[in-house]
Structures are given as C-alpha cells and as structure tokens.
Amino acid sequence: MYNVAQVIEEKCVAKKGCRLCIMYCPEANCLDLNVEKMVAEVNINRCKGCELCKVVCDAAKHHAIEMVAVSADGKLMDKAGEAAALGQAYQG
Ligand code: SF4
Ligand code: SF4
C-alpha cells in the first residue's frame, strides 16, 4: 500500500488561475488541469506520493489536496481503509 495525492475538487481554486501544484509536481504527466471541470487532477498511476503538491497547496491556504492510500491492486482507499469507488459504486 502507498499514498497518492487527490484533489478535493470543491476546494481547488484552479478556476481562479491557481496552478501551484501543477507547477511543483516533479513527475511528468502526473498532475494536470482538467479543463472541463477546471480543477487540478492527479493521475494516480504516475503519482509518487512525494506530497510536494499538498505542501504548496496548503502553504497557499487552499488545502485542496489530500493523500489517499492505494491498495496493492491499484484501488484508492477511503479513510476507513476500504476500497473506495473509482467512478463506480463499490460492490464489495
Ligand atoms: S495548488 Fe491546490 S488550489 Fe491550486 S490548483 Fe492545485 S489543488 Fe487546486
Ligand atoms: S504527491 Fe508528488 S508526484 Fe504525486 S501529484 Fe503530488 S507532487 Fe506530484
């Protein structure tokens, strides 16, 4: 299990022009702007969990990034440690 960054869309102010996390993420094609939603978006297959994006977002007082555990089979876990829905209802 390891951690990846996830953007809390309601808190992200990318629509106001913020691109801090995108500028600071050291991984290519990892953290980008979702131009349809106008929020930052993490590609969990690329994220190395370095937390740099969270540090800069928190420093700017947006607090729009949280680190979320990923299970060995690549599923995002929720806070209780259960596999969370990834765009579909969790059936288990
Ligand atoms: S730094 Fe935070 S508020 Fe700014 S674009 Fe990234 S997630 Fe959104
Ligand atoms: S945790 Fe690191 S690698 Fe992952 S999105 Fe944030 S800055 Fe990029």
One pLDDT digit (tens) per residue for the chain, 92 residues: 789 999 999 999 999 999 999 999 999 999 999 999 999 999 999 999 999 999 999 999 999 999 999 988 888 887 555 665 554 444 44
Q: Decide if 75 contacts 85 (C-beta within 8 A).
A: no
Dihedral, 88, 45, 53, 70 alpha carbons, nearest 10? 60
Q: Confirm or reject: Cβ of 27 under 6 Å from ligand 2.
A: yes
Q: Confirm or reject: Cβ of 64 under 6 Å from ligand 1.
A: yes
pLDDT at residue 1, as a whole number:
78
Tell me the pTM.
0.86
What residue numbers bound the domain in which 35 lies? 2-70
Q: Decide if 34 contacts 41 (C-beta within 8 A).
A: yes
Distance of alpha carbon 57 from alpha carbon 74, whole angstroms: 25
How many domains are there within the chain? 1
Give the domain CATH number at 64.
Answer: 3.30.70.20
For the CA of 52, the closest atom of ligand 2 is 7
Is 86 contained in some domain? no
Q: How far is the CA of 46 from the centre of ligand 1 (A)?
A: 18
Is 36 contained in some domain? yes
pLDDT at residue 74, as a whole number:
83
Is 83 contained in some domain? no
Is 88 contained in some domain? no
pLDDT at residue 81, as a whole number:
56
For the CA of 63, the closest atom of ligand 1 is 2
Q: Confirm or reject: Cβ of 53 under 6 Å from ligand 2.
A: yes
